[in-house]
Structure 1
Amino acid sequence: MAQQTKRGLAFCLVVLLLLMALPLTALGANPWAPNTAYKTGDVVTYSGSNYECIQGHTSLTGWEPSNVPALWKKQTGTPAPDTQAPTAPTVLKAGAVTGASVALSWNASTDNVGVSGYNIYNGTTLAGSSASTSFTVTGLAANTSYTFTVKAKDAAGNLSASSNAVTVTTTAPDTQAPTAPTKLTVGTVTANSVALSWTASTDNVGVASYEVYKGTALVAAVTGTSYTVTGLTASTLYTFTVKAKDAAGNASPASAAVTATTTAQPAGSNEIIAYFPSWTSYNTPEFTVANVDPTKMTVINYAFLDVCWNGRHGNPSTDPGNPNKNTWPCQDGNGVPNNAPNGAIVLGDPYADDTGGGGGYESLKKLAQLKTQNPKLKLFASVGGWTWSNQFSNLAADPTTRQNFATSAVSFLRQYNFDGIDIDWEYPNSIGVPCAAGQTCQRTADKANYTLLLQTLRQQLDTAGQQDGKRYYITIASSANQSFLSDAGGTSNWLSQAATYLDWINIMTYDYHGPWENVSNIPSALYKDPSDPSGATLFNVESTVNLYLNKGIPASKLTVGEAFFGYGWNGCNAGPKGDGLYQNCTGGATTGSDGSTFNFSYLQNKGYLTKDASGKYTVGGNGFTRYWNDATKTPYLYNPTSKIFIAYEDEASIHLKNEFIKTKGLRGAMFWELEADSNRNLQTIVSNDLPH
């Protein structure tokens, strides 16, 4: 028996020695796995090493710990166990008390490693946890006494001693609503805004806010007794009311209604919106802010910013339609990871956008400097685009990430002296670039959620605008396809509802046809061509604009997209007219400024187009003949020897689109993009045609 005891003790000693030889974290670490939720402090094993999670996230294939240093830190050595608890929180005190809640605050604890959070106790029951030194306990009974304490905790799970106890008695429930606001009055009225003011309400406890309604739609919640409703349509009658609310959520009856008719849109108020792609700074020759004439436009949309998700941005989809499959850590203007929350707007390329850590192009700051040359110039940050629309469905689906988006939008606008946000979601309910494996990029409810996102953004920007004394704008880039306007996910006339939160909509009235088709056609027809064999009678600017107007969207909230580029096809038959139009082709041309894309300035600089006697570029060169389609009001080029067909826009077609904009009473013109017209011929036509 004694011999067995000795053998047992010896065995235990061997086991203990083996355990001491192992890294401490290896004992409890599981192998890393995709599609798993990890929190800060979790430890996993991967490729024979231990990694500690430094930012909470849900893992995806491709996010292995060795690949994403922004999410995982490799552990080295054998750390000693943390057995020391934090100090007890001090000076626990109660703040606001209601019939159902108590606000608590306390002084921070200290710890040898670090305090990870605080547990709040209602008596001996855990009432909740907080990462900060404050917490509001909710769900309490009215007129009841409660005693609270707080304990600090560290990442190792050590709990401190309890703080001092604080005893609080909740009040009687507040069920009394405030009185209705009185003397609601209309102040200054413009083509797009109405100023309102009213006399304060009274309440047994206190008025917390006022809700301003346009008809039955809530447009703002404010704490003062005045508000200017913006984003309205010219020459339109509106009805307004106001309700008061208290902290318990009791709402007063509505005030007496007032009506106001917005004034007519003033002459010379057209918007001319120019897109500036960030990547053109890298082109040869480079196209930077120094190449921009800000007097020829009213708005510059800087393209593109992205959305952060799990510490990274970009689109890892391997689909052939994705032109850039890279992802990057979410970074600030200096190229430093910034721990942006999910849904937050982040720079797409810190080196092009700002300094990127030194020597960057600083395009955002230099664009703001253009306001000295044109004080009326507005700068918008365009978020998303064809490649980076992959996270819109996720962020729009959740109120927290919608708020993160709106909060980051305000921060960006203030930091860079910009004036608005342009959302380029391509497309809600029908994503353009198919999703990467394991990700979600579209939902049936996308269009309903898009409206909620715009509502959240509008409220946040209006609040910031009131504080900053300026108007912050919201626009979207929208599809010319009829399916974009169609309802989904239980929506009803979704885009007209979304438009109530928008200053205007930039319709991408181009790319109706292109070399993804095997028949040559017109990409940006102004009107339909009865002889077009495709049968696509809605693939023209006039039909698209009418679709939007028929949805009830005001003309003053629509701009026509003008393409400063064209497309080329290879191997096109000459056809009976010898011009190559509407003929079978073998594929996209490869000799353009970017493959099958032919920028207008490229056509000029490479001799595809030459000047006529009036100085306009209406004469073909390099073996090409220039033709004009009088039905679509657009030009095209054809070379019978090379069998290359190129459809594009020139001074004549752009001028006719501008005349169409004025005839329809639309907000103005948007064009893609500045570098494509680096010689400034087309933008000069737009600037001269549309007073601004």
Structure 2
Amino acid sequence: MSRPGGRRATALVGVATLAVASTLLSAPPASSAEAVTASCTKTSDWGSGFQGNCTITNGTGAGISSWKIEGDLPSGTSIGSVWDANKAVSGDHYTFTNVGWNGSLAAGKTVSFGFGGTGPGWFTGCKINGSPCDGSGEPEIDTQAPTAPGNLHSTGKSATTVALSWNASTDNVGVTGYDVYNGGTKAATVTGTGVTVTGLTPKTAYDFTVKARDKAGNVSPASAPVSVTTDEGGGTGPGTGDKVIGYFAQWGIYQRGYHVKNIDTSGSAAKLTHINYAFGNVQGGRCTIGDSYADYDKAYQAGESVDGVADTWDQPLRGNFNQLRKLKKKYPNLKVLFSFGGWTWSGGFTEAAKNPAAFADSCYKLVEDPRWADVFDGIDIDWEYPNACGLSCDTSGKDAFKNLLGAVRAKFGTGNLVTAAITADASEGGKMDATDYGGAAQYVDWYNPMTYDYFGGWDAKGPTAPHSPLTRYDRIPHEGFNTADTIGKLKRLGVPANKLLIGIGFYGRGWTGVTEEAPGGTATGPAGGTYEAGIEDYKVLKNKCPANKTIAGTAYAKCGSDWWSYDTPATIRGKMAWAKGEGLGGSFFWELSGDTTGGELITAIKNGLG
């Protein structure tokens, strides 16, 4: 699990001696108001070299999915380092393209990339997506309508709602939106390929169709209709609203000394509905074991074992898997999922996306291995992040995640759980826009949007901010980085509310060198932590730096020059009340070892959900 925030640029080496405003073009003419334009500027120049920045502006009324800037540099001038863009060079001609995660640009929005170079010259002949950078090109008249949306189907329903998803239409210029019809009445207009239609009557049949529109107003033929009957009398479909899901990190048995037995002795096992075992690896397009010693080989002594019985040298299964088997025997209603990927091991999903069926087959064989098939009740996919950047960058395409989950569901069938941990980045053009999360929702029992790690000490200078804000607030560093916006956007994309869980971090994020008590202050770096700078378990922070204030539904405190934010039992109760009001399927958290020995935080989750 990891932060869903934006990519951090790598600083260039060198000290600028003279800041200049040498631009590639002057203020765009009036025609650029209906065009995609670009402006490139030298932000600093020290004679032998320079640092520059290009900003792309989408002045059209429709979103774009990619961009490309071209230009020529005179002999003796070149560009070396580039960040937030790909670079291609042919002689003196330079081409810069988006890196995948920053290609989607909504109408009226901007995106930038930077670079460093040598020599005294500057660009000529600038083009953006094949047209002049100043937007002076004449627009063509568009009379071609988009194709009809395909594969319209329901991904979930309740007594008063129906969630729909469909395949994207194509257009010679670009689709700008979709109109969803309930019979002959327009029920919704959306930009994505999914929607939840609300305000329906229980136990009633409805016929839905969808039409696509482009910027010129051309409308596609209607999709094939789909008929859906709502549930009877306020049913909520597959979501019950009471799921409590905790991640158990396999490496916790080492430094942290946290074992499966601790889930029982803390009282957490009695409050959990599911455990996500983290993590299996993804290598060569396949699911693989992440730590064989911790998973199934470590011999447990009687005092460490769930049932007080020591492992023997010749028993067929030991380690965490055997301890989980014992825990499930003690708590028969407890379900366990094997989670694959995570921040460190998500890089393997790029290869897996090339052959989803082979990936799904490898995962099924591993999860259902005869040695531990009874331990696991399904699979959790934690891909950080499809068609976007996390620890590494992926460019598998917007449909890759949906295709992969479709293959996993087909292989695991309806008798196993299939879930996924997903981004919480609800910003315009952010990670959520890079992937068809609405379309993929049909294949999962629920999503775990990682509604924490929005902000943290990786931004060493700050500004300080709560890492898990429930709502936006004045001076929030990044719009769309809060739980309410995350859940709201996923609903608009067509994900049913009962397939969404609210995420809670059992830890805090902090900075040091802070002088301002309120959020928004500057810092000198991440605060010290037991295992990693900038992060600390709740069980430590509650005594080390007791929270005395709240903002946006999350607690924070300044202790000396350190500034920490984290959730407490009180703020968790508030978040659970909010989740119930939104009709969510429950809550999940990262991860079990961060709680107190008496399980303060999980108790707040359980009691809050009721």
Equivalent in the alignment of 1:481 = 425
Give CA deviations for 1:198-217 in whole Å, capped at 9, x if unaligned: xxxxxxxxxxxxxxxx9999
Equivalent in the alignment of 1:61 = none
Stretches of structure 1 that go unaligned for 5 or more consecutive residues are 1-188, 193-213, 218-231, 241-256, 310-342, 435-440, 466-470, 489-493, 610-619, 621-625
Larger Rg: 1
Alpha-carbon spacing, 1:416–1:686, altered in 2? closer, same or farther (3 Å): same
* Residue correspondence of structure 1 range 240-639 to structure 2 within 5 A: 260-263=229-232, 264-265=235-236, 269-292=241-264, 293-309=268-284, 343-355=285-297, 362-399=319-356, 401-408=358-365, 411-412=368-369, 415-434=373-392, 442-445=394-397, 447-462=398-413, 471-482=415-426, 483-487=430-434, 494-517=436-459, 518-519=461-462, 520-532=464-476, 534=477, 536-573=478-515, 575=516, 579=517, 581-604=519-542, 607-608=543-544, 620=546, 626-629=547-550, 631-639=551-559
How many residue pairs get matched?
375
Give CA deviations for 1:586-625 in whole Å, capped at 9, x if unaligned: 0011244533211111224xx325xxxxxxxxxx3xxxxx
Secondary structure, counterpart of 2:321 in structure 1: helix
Alpha-carbon spacing, 1:544–1:569, altered in 2? closer, same or farther (3 Å): same
Shift of 1:559: 0.5
Write the letter of the residue equivalent to 1:386: W
1:645 to 534, 542, 563: 563
Give CA deviations for 1:486-513 in whole Å, capped at 9, x if unaligned: 146xxxxx21110001111000001111
8 A contact 1:233–1:556 mirrored in 2: no
Write the letter of the residue equivalent to 2:332: P
Shift of 1:476: 0.5
Alpha-carbon spacing, 1:531–1:550, altered in 2? closer, same or farther (3 Å): same
Secondary structure, counterpart of 1:561 in structure 2: strand
8 A contact 1:403–1:457 mirrored in 2: yes
Quick one: higher RCO (CA 8 Å, sep 6+), 1 or 2? 2
Shift of 1:682: 0.4
Give CA deviations for 1:352-385 in whole Å, capped at 9, x if unaligned: 1111698796112221322233322111111000
What is the CA RMSD across the aligned residues, in angstroms? 3.2
Secondary structure, counterpart of 1:345 in structure 2: strand
Write the letter of the residue equivalent to 2:544: Y
Alpha-carbon spacing, 1:403–1:505, altered in 2? closer, same or farther (3 Å): closer
8 A contact 1:627–1:637 mirrored in 2: yes
Alpha-carbon spacing, 1:236–1:503, altered in 2? closer, same or farther (3 Å): farther
Is 1:674 the counterpart of 2:595 in the alignment? no
Secondary structure, counterpart of 1:542 in structure 2: helix
Equivalent in the alignment of 2:575 = 657
* Residue correspondence of structure 1 range 197-208 to structure 2 within 5 A: none
Shift of 1:344: 3.1
Within 2, Cα distance between the matches of 1:215 and 1:546?
Answer: 17
Secondary structure, counterpart of 1:354 in structure 2: helix
8 A contact 1:344–1:401 mirrored in 2: yes
Shift of 1:403: 4.3
* Residue correspondence of structure 1 range 72-91 to structure 2 within 5 A: none
Shift of 1:402: 3.1
Secondary structure, counterpart of 1:538 in structure 2: coil
Secondary structure, counterpart of 1:387 in structure 2: helix
Give CA deviations for 1:447-505 in whole Å, capped at 9, x if unaligned: 3122111111111111xx5xxxxx311111011113232146xxxxx211100011110
Within 1, Cα distance between the matches of 2:157 and 2:451?
Answer: 30
TM-score under structure 1 length normalisation:
0.50
Within 1, Cα distance between the matches of 2:240 and 2:440?
Answer: 27
Alpha-carbon spacing, 1:412–1:580, altered in 2? closer, same or farther (3 Å): farther
Alpha-carbon spacing, 1:544–1:452, altered in 2? closer, same or farther (3 Å): same
Secondary structure, counterpart of 2:337 in structure 1: strand
Shift of 1:350: 0.9
Shift of 1:268: 5.9
Equivalent in the alignment of 1:107 = none
Write the letter of the residue equivalent to 1:690: L
8 A contact 1:237–1:261 mirrored in 2: yes
Write the letter of the residue equivalent to 1:683: I
Secondary structure, counterpart of 2:340 in structure 1: strand
Shift of 1:635: 1.4
Alpha-carbon spacing, 1:373–1:596, altered in 2? closer, same or farther (3 Å): same
8 A contact 2:409–2:443 mirrored in 1: yes
8 A contact 1:233–1:554 mirrored in 2: no
Within 1, Cα distance between the matches of 2:382 and 2:506?
Answer: 18
Secondary structure, counterpart of 2:504 in structure 1: strand
Equivalent in the alignment of 2:143 = none
Give CA deviations for 1:299-322 in whole Å, capped at 9, x if unaligned: 10000001242xxxxxxxxxxxxx
Alpha-carbon spacing, 1:393–1:474, altered in 2? closer, same or farther (3 Å): same
8 A contact 1:510–1:524 mirrored in 2: yes
Equivalent in the alignment of 1:119 = none
Shift of 1:522: 0.9
8 A contact 2:295–2:321 mirrored in 1: yes
Within 2, Cα distance between the matches of 1:449 and 1:545?
Answer: 22
Within 2, Cα distance between the matches of 1:190 and 1:544?
Answer: 21
Equivalent in the alignment of 2:603 = 684
Within 2, Cα distance between the matches of 1:542 and 1:585?
Answer: 27
Secondary structure, counterpart of 1:389 in structure 2: helix
Alpha-carbon spacing, 1:555–1:412, altered in 2? closer, same or farther (3 Å): farther
Alpha-carbon spacing, 1:400–1:420, altered in 2? closer, same or farther (3 Å): closer
Stretches of structure 2 that go unaligned for 5 or more consecutive residues are 1-155, 168-195, 208-225, 300-311
Give CA deviations for 1:511-555 in whole Å, capped at 9, x if unaligned: 1110112121111111111244x2x23221111111111111110
Alpha-carbon spacing, 1:567–1:259, altered in 2? closer, same or farther (3 Å): closer
Equivalent in the alignment of 1:185 = none
Within 1, Cα distance between the matches of 2:165 and 2:566?
Answer: 45
* Residue correspondence of structure 1 range 122-201 to structure 2 within 5 A: none
Write the letter of the residue equivalent to 1:451: K
